């Protein structure tokens, strides 16, 4: 009788069997490349387009004479209403620098593109696949610039506040007589999703968690901050999910406004 035994992994040469995670890694890589690529191309196109971002600026009449107050999140805060921008440049070209740098330096996003695009490191305790470079962490330039994340957080909190303002504005409609009415449209719901997921994404941020309670030496001296920190820590467990949901819904909100402004779709709404 022969006895079969499983081969014992050689600990000197292999930490994790490569075949076990490589196919999953390839699938994730393709999905991430697709999602980030589509968003980057669409966002760049919209930033340069400089048009069809505000339903109150549309000159062609809406089908039933009712004008919603929808402003694309790519053009918020509405600096185009406050200043005249040099050379007629698009406001979104300036504005997208802030959410763009915030997302690009996000801990979750970094992990995602290090793994999916650079392949270095591909995963925890896994050998490098592409072997293009030696992973050194973020101790060297330009990766030290990732530390900007904690500062971009302050700017993005302003953006979140404006998303809430625009959500409340999306409850106002100008009817055919020119009177302002309270109402709810499909656009209001789209803005609601965008604002909700952006808030969850920002308030689950690792830097925000540190700001709320991580800087304290003793929680016992600040029970309120401790409670907030516990709440933020719970949100933080799903930070990656909120990253993707907020990315999708912010793109969707802009696309919805563009579609209404272009006359591709009619905004369905009820007025009270
Ligand atoms: Fe992801 Fe701060 S860590 S937004």
Over residues 24-42, mean pLDDT: 85
Strand duo 269-271 + 67-68: pairing:
unpaired
Query: How far is it, in rounded angstroms, from Cα 208 to Cα 76?
Result: 22
Residues near ligand 1 (Cβ within 6 A): 106-108, 149, 205-207, 239
Reply yes or no on whether the pLDDT at 33 is more than 60.
Answer: yes
pLDDT at 126: 62
Given this model, what pLDDT does residue 3 score?
44
93 CA from centroid of ligand 1 (Å): 22
Q: For residue 6, report the distance from its CA to the centre of ligand 1, in Å.
A: 43
Which candidate, 265, 266, 264, 262, places its Cα nearest to that of 51?
Answer: 262
The answer to whether residue 4 scores a pLDDT higher than 50 is: no
Q: Where do we find the tokens 């697709």?
A: 34
What is the arithmetic mean of pLDDT over 166-191?
94
Determine, yes or no, domain membership for 5: no
Protein residue with its CA nearest to atom 2 in ligand 1: 205
**For range 167-189, the mean pLDDT:** 93
- Which residue, judged by its Cα, is nearest atom 1 of ligand 1? 106
Q: Quick check: is 11 in a domain?
A: no
- What is the CA(12)–ligand 1 centre distance, in A? 36
* Number of domains composing the chain: 1
Atom of ligand 1 nearest to the CA of 206: 3
Distance CA 21, CA 26 (A): 9
If you measure from the C-alpha of residue 233 to the centroid of ligand 1, how many angstroms do you get, rounded to a whole number?
13
> Do the domain assignments include residue 7?
no
Reported confidence tier of residue 215, pLDDT bands at 50, 70, 90: confident
Residue 6 lies in a domain: no
Beta-carbon neighbour count of residue 57 at 10 Å?
13
In this structure, is residue 218 part of a structural domain? yes
250 pLDDT exceeds 70?
A: yes
Strand, helix or coil at 76?
Answer: coil
Q: Provide mean pLDDT across the span 3-26.
A: 53
Which of 104, 207, 240 to mutate for ligand 1's pocket (most ligand atoms within 8 Å of CB)?
A: 207
pLDDT in tens, 80-102: 989 888 888 899 999 999 999 99
Asked if residue 190 is part of any domain, the answer here is yes
pLDDT of residue 119: 73
In a domain, 2, yes or no: no
Distance 259 CA to ligand 1 centre (A): 30
Cross-strand pairs, 269? 185
> In which domain, by residue range, is 40 found?
17-130+137-271
* Alpha-carbon span 162 to 77, nearest angstrom: 6
Whether 4 maps to a domain, the answer reads no
Model's pTM, two decimal places?
0.85
**Local confidence band at 122 (pLDDT 50, 70, 90 cut-offs):** low
Which atom of ligand 1 lies closest to the CA of 103? Answer: 4
10 Å CB burial of residue 246 (0-12, 13-18, 19+) is buried
According to the model, what pLDDT value does residue 127 have?
62
Query: 47-92: per-residue pLDDT in tens?
Result: 999 999 999 988 776 767 889 999 999 999 999 989 888 888 899 9
């Amino acid at each position: 009788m022969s006895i079969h035994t499983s081969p014992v992994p050689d600990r000197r040469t292999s930490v994790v069997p490569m075949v076990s995670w490589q196919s999953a890694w390839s699938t994730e890589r393709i999905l991430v490349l697709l999602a980030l690529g589509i968003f980057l191309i669409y966002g760049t196109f919209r930033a340069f387009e400089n048009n069809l971002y505000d339903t109150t600026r549309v000159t062609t009449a809406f089908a039933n004479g009712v004008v919603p107050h929808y402003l694309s999140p790519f053009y918020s805060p509405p600096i185009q209403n406050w200043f005249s921008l040099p050379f007629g440049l698009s406001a979104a070209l300036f504005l997208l620098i802030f959410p763009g740098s915030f997302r690009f330096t996000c801990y979750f996003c970094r992990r995602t593109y290090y793994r999916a695009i650079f392949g270095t490191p591909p995963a925890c305790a896994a050998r490098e696949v592409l072997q293009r470079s030696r992973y050194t962490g973020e101790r060297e330039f330009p990766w030290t610039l990732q530390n900007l994340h904690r500062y971009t957080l302050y700017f993005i909190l302003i953006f979140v506040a404006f998303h809430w303002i625009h959500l409340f504005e999306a409850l106002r409609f100008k009817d055919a007589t020119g009177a302002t009415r309270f109402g709810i449209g499909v656009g209001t719901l789209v803005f609601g999703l965008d604002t909700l997921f952006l808030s969850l994404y920002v308030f689950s941020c690792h830097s925000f968690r540190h700001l709320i309670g991580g800087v304290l030496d003793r929680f016992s001296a600040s029970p309120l901050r401790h409670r907030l920190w516990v709440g933020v820590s719970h949100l933080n467990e799903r930070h990656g999910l909120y990253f993707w949901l907020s990315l999708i819904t912010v793109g969707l909100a802009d696309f919805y406004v563009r579609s209404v402004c272009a006359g591709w779709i009619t905004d369905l709404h009820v007025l009270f």
